[in-house]
Amino acid sequence: MPGTAPVAIEARGWGWRHAGRRAWALRGVDLRIEPGERVLLLGPSGAGKSTLLAGLAGLLVGGESEGQLLLDGQDPRNARERSAVVFQDPGSQLVMSRAGDDVAFGLENRCMAPEAIWPRVDAALASVGFPYGRSQPVEALSGGEQQRLALAGALALEPGLLLLDEPTANLDPAGAALVREALRLISAQRSITTLVVEHRLDETLPLVDRAIVLQAGGGVIADGRPVDIFAQRGDELAAAGVWIPNRPLARPPARPRPGTEAVMLATGLGYRYPGAAMSAVTEVDLELRSSDALAVTGANGSGKSTLALLLGGLLRPSAGAVAAAGPLHRNGADPLIGRWPARGLAGSIGSVFQDPEHQFLTGRVVNELTLGPIRTGLSPEVALRVAEELMARLHLSQLADANPFTLSGGEKRRLSVATALASQPAVLILDEPTFGQDRRTAVELLELLAGLRDRGTAICFATHDAGFVAALADRTLQLAHGRTA
């Protein structure tokens, strides 16, 4: 695919403040990216990485800006046809049921002649190594295949600037490898300015030739060859929350734990979504124990998220049962967790969903954190003290009055974890707890969860993050096609 000419990016003291927020998302950004450069954008959670990408895509509206942000000397809002963006979740930008139709969607919206569309679609699919034809059902694709399809849809528009916002964050290792291979193919085939936000640095560094590091609330604090930046400033950047290659999370020191006992038993557990041809979970047996952390691993589509919902009492099993045991089973209560009322679940089992926005219920961060404790019987004063402690631990204090839906992806994830912890549950179920986290908050989350486990909480977490598994898990359960592998 020949594509249009790669664009130059320039920021001159640029900043952006979202509507209704006191603090600037980022400010004082000065940089220049030459046409065809491949740049890795780094920074701690909340530093404004996604905001900068949205600004370059011409997608920011309703807020306040200062300085200049330019694509080939133009305001990005007047040059949207020059850029294309790929987000973390491919499902958020795939809109058609067949692969070829999805790639053609953007071209049709640009009123391209029908006879010119399909050669462009075929070229885009080939450029990312898509292994199927145009008629492949989108719902039959794996997560990595869906992300390659989303990438093909972006490239079909022949942009001069490709913006990638953590394109592998939601993918298992195999799916992430497929996306990285697609990016290698693109680099070999055409010259295009590329700006990528990514946390999996060990695998991403071969795809870029420059790194730019943003400072939370400030401008650019490092700019240059990645190898030089990490060699010269690695310790400083890690302390600020930037992920550094080849620095895995350390397992917290061993501490005395109370005796362990079963608190939840799943037997023959199965679930089939209405209208689905196959069960998402089939014949799974497991035991959750107090003072113990169980990691659930497996590829995209293996059933991890469904299992988390079943264990949290948020889905009723199609087969088998999830039963409370030991201290979780109160005298006289129904042992089957799927039958518990919401109040009973809130006081005993904390759940963190894969999509944080699915569990937000109020318009302020602090209200999200006091809601659960008040519903379980704490006074508003005590609930507020719990909320303030959690906000301090998870670096959310400055966002107490913010609307949860306006937070960055990493901030939303930390808030969702904090809401689950606020009611001090005996069992904690987390789906991808480190998603979108910088190094500092991942370490804080690790220490917080390890402390809860060591004081008696039963923890079950579903994740693709092998480093977090190594640092926290006592046991591992691997799923494949909904079954225990």
Model confidence over 395-440: pLDDT tens digits?
899 899 999 988 877 788 889 989 988 888 999 999 989 887 888 8
Say what the pLDDT of residue 2 is: 47
Q: What is the mean pLDDT of residues 57-76?
A: 94
Whole-angstrom distance, CA of residue 323 vs CA of residue 334: 9
Which neighbouring-strand residues pair with 64?
Answer: 17
Q: Is the pLDDT of residue 454 over 50?
A: yes
Say what the pLDDT of residue 34 is: 96
E strand intervals along 358-474: 427-431, 458-462
**Which architecture, in CATH terms, is 262-484?**
3-Layer(aba) Sandwich (3.40)
Q: What is the mean pLDDT of residues 120-128?
A: 91
E strand intervals along 134-224: 161-165, 193-197, 210-214, 220-224
Do the domains spanning 9-240 and 262-484 agree at the CATH topology level? yes
Q: What is the pTM of this model?
A: 0.84
Say what the pLDDT of residue 170 is: 78
Say what the pLDDT of residue 358 is: 84
Mean pLDDT value across the chain: 90
> Under 8 Å CB-to-CB from 211, ≥6 apart: which residues?
39, 40, 41, 42, 222, 223, 224, 225, 226, 229
Q: What is the mean pLDDT of residues 7-16?
A: 96
| Domain ranges (residues) in the chain | 9-240, 262-484
Query: What is the CATH code for 9-240?
Result: 3.40.50.300
pLDDT (tens digit, 9 = 90+) per residue, 102-115? 999 999 998 899 89
Quickly state the pLDDT bin for 331 (edges 50, 70, 90): low
Q: Is the pLDDT of residue 179 over 80?
A: yes
Say what the pLDDT of residue 365 is: 95
Q: What is the mean pLDDT of residues 25-36?
A: 94
Residue 252: DSSP 8-state: P
Percent share of the chain, pLDDT over 70? 99
